[in-house]
Structure 1
Amino acid sequence: MEILLDGPLSRAELSRRVGLSPGSLTRITKPMLESGLLVEVSAGPSDPRVGRPSQPLDVVAAAHHFVGIKLTGDHAVGVLTTLRAEVIATADLPLLEHSPQAVAATVAELTKTLAAYQPETELSGLGVSLGGHVVNKSQVRSSAFLDWYDVPLGDLLAAHTDVPVVVANDLTALTEATHWFGAGRGAERFCLITIGAGIGFGLVVHDRIVDSPDASLGLIGHQPLLADGLRCERGHVGCASTILTTDAIISQVSEALGRDLSYDECLDLAAQGDPTAKPLIDRAGYALGRLVAAAANFTLPDRVVLGGEGVRLVEIAHDALLDGLHFDRHPEATDPPIVLLDASFNEWARGAAVIAIQTFVLGS
Structure 2
Amino acid sequence: MKAAGRICDVQAGDIIDGRFRVERRIGAGGMGTVVCATHLQLGEPVAIKFLNPEAAEDDDSRCRFLREARTSARLRNEHVARLMDYGVCEDGSPILVMEFLAGEDLGQALHRRGPLPVDEVVEYLLQACEALAEAHARGLVHRDLKPSNLFLTRGADGDPLVKVLDFGISKSYTGGADDSLNAKITGSYGLVGSPAYMSPEQVSGHDVCPKTDIWALGVVMYECLIAECPFERKSMAEVFVAVLKNDPPPLQSKRGDVPESMEKLCGWCLHKATEGRCPSVVSFAEELFQVAPTDARRVMVRRIRRLAQAAHTDSDRTEGSESPPIAGTSVTAWKRTRAVRRLRPG
TM-score by length of 2: 0.27
| Structure index of larger Rg | 1
The one of the two structures with greater contact order (alpha-carbon pairs below 8 A, sep at least 6) is 2
Q: TM-score with structure 1 length normalisation?
A: 0.26
